Amino acid sequence: MTTHAVLDTPVGPLVAVVDDGALVRLGPPPSPSGGLPTVSGGAATAPAIPPGLGSRDDDALPALREQLDAYWAGTLREFDLPLAAPGTPWQQQVWAALLTIPFGQTWSYGELAAHLGRPTASRAVGAANGRNPVFLVVPCHRVVGSTGALTGYAGGLEMKRRLLDHERATAWT
């Protein structure tokens, strides 16, 4: 059974989609125009959730909420949740490699490709990284350009910057 929850976080609302007790999607909700959440008066407003995500159940996967709270408190470095993110074998391989990037650190797409034994596959790594459906839990925000510059992110570069700043600030606490 598929359900979804809308979670308030320090970086704005996130939508979690749970299917049979496993997380299949975590990311910003789409705006009515198909983009990211809008900001009004300093707070993000959660737009209507598109159909196909099942009924809303904000108590679905309570471990996610608990672990997100611990992440924001700076006491959680790695999430431990049942995941069922749909993807190709290559995408699954890239997403598994994302889990090896240490908390508070960044790797370039090229470093991630080399880690996977495919040093010339940085573009393919970038494409798989961009399709990561479980944002934050599988830390695609830790991947940056070859110069260290922030590059594309589903939640926008400001959100990516805030996530990296949070991790760097809490990495040694």
Catalytic residues: 140
- Exposed e or buried b for every residue in 96-120, given b needs 16+ CB within 10 A? ebbeebeeeebbbbbbbbbbbeeee
> Are the beta carbons of 44 and 96 closer than 8 angstroms?
no
Q: Which stretch of DSSP H or E encloses residue 170?
A: helix 157-170
Torsion of CA 137, 150, 87, 94, to 10 degrees: -90
User: Sign of the CA dihedral 98, 130, 83, 12?
Assistant: positive
